[in-house]
């Protein structure tokens, strides 16, 4: 049995066609079902539906053989413990700094609200900017509006969320897409099955 960890929402929706090309169609819809383990049209493949930030953890410990996770989440988790063989080119967006529309450019010390603490620390350190990072778990856009932080580090897709809150994107930190990650032991123990799946995904991606 191969277990693939995936999060609900955008990543699941965009991963579904890729999985289907490999003959993997879940027997339940995670948006409707409360099941956390989904059997699929392939007897040898099941999906576990978990929070995006938990995907690397499940794969690292071998609770899932494979996972689909955003590069943003993988950067925060630390990638050394996993193989990351494939960029699936789905759920694409940008990790950016953002602040008030008319705020001056950041110089000197800055307070940054984000859920990407390590990535933000690394980014500001590389640029020689002294940053105090405030960890938030959601609604980052609120932080500059209520004086909690000078700027935020968050994912931006259309920019509509920022715009609706009077903020604007400033610096691009990194282009983000979802990656296939593989447990290191599983890659050896279940090599044939995983290699076949990788090849299938690669073929589908090459045709796009």
Residue 94: half-sphere exposure toward Cβ, Cα within 13 Å: 13
Q: How far apart are CA 159 and CA 164, in angstroms?
A: 9
Q: Considering the rule CB under 6 A, would residue 153 count as an interface residue with ligand AMP?
A: no
Contact between 117 and ligand AMP by CB under 6 A: the answer reads no
Q: Is 200 in the site for ligand AMP (CB under 6 A)?
A: no
Per rule CB under 6 A, is residue 159 in the interface with ligand AMP? yes
- Give every CB contact of residue 162 below 8 A, 6+ residues apart in sequence: 98, 141, 156, 168, 169
| Residue 154 interacts with ligand AMP (CB under 6 A): yes or no | yes
Binding mask of the shown chain, residues 90 to 109, with x at each position contacting ligand AMP by CB under 6 A: -x-x----------------
Residue of 10, 42, 100, 184 that binds ligand AMP (CB under 6 A): 10
Question: What is the sign, positive or negative, of the torsion defined by CA atoms of 78, 81, 82, 83?
Answer: positive
Going from the C-alpha of 177 to that of each of 26, 50, 71, 91, 157, the distances in angstroms are 23, 18, 6, 6, 11
Structure tokens of 170? 């400033």
Least CB distance from residue 72 to ligand AMP, whole Å? 7
As measured in angstroms, the least distance from the Cβ of 10 to ligand AMP is 5
Q: Does 160 bind ligand AMP (CB under 6 A)?
A: yes
Please report, as ranges, the residues that interact with ligand AMP according to CB under 6 A: 10, 70, 91, 93, 154-161
């Amino acid at each position: 049995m191969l277990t693939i960890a995936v999060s609900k929402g955008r990543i699941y929706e965009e991963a579904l066609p890729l999985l289907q090309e490999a003959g993997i169609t879940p027997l339940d819809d995670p948006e409707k079902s409360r099941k956390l383990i989904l059997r699929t049209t392939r007897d040898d493949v099941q999906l576990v539906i978990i929070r995006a930030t938990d995907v690397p953890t499940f794969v690292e410990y071998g609770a899932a053989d494979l996972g689909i996770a955003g590069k943003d989440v993988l950067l925060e988790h630390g990638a050394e413990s996993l193989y990351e063989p494939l960029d699936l080119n789905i759920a694409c967006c940008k990790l950016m700094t953002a602040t008030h529309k008319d705020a001056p450019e950041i110089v000197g010390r800055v307070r940054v609200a984000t859920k990407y603490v390590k990535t933000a620390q690394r980014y500001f350190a590389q640029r020689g900017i002294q940053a105090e990072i405030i960890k938030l778990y959601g609604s980052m856009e609120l932080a500059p509006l209520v004086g909690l932080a000078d700027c935020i580090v968050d994912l931006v897709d259309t920019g509509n969320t920022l715009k609706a809150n009077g903020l604007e994107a400033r610096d691009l930190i990194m282009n983000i897409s979802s990656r296939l990650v593989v447990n290191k032991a599983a890659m050896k123990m279940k090599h044939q099955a995983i290699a076949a799946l990788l090849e299938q995904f690669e073929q589908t991606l090459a045709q796009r």
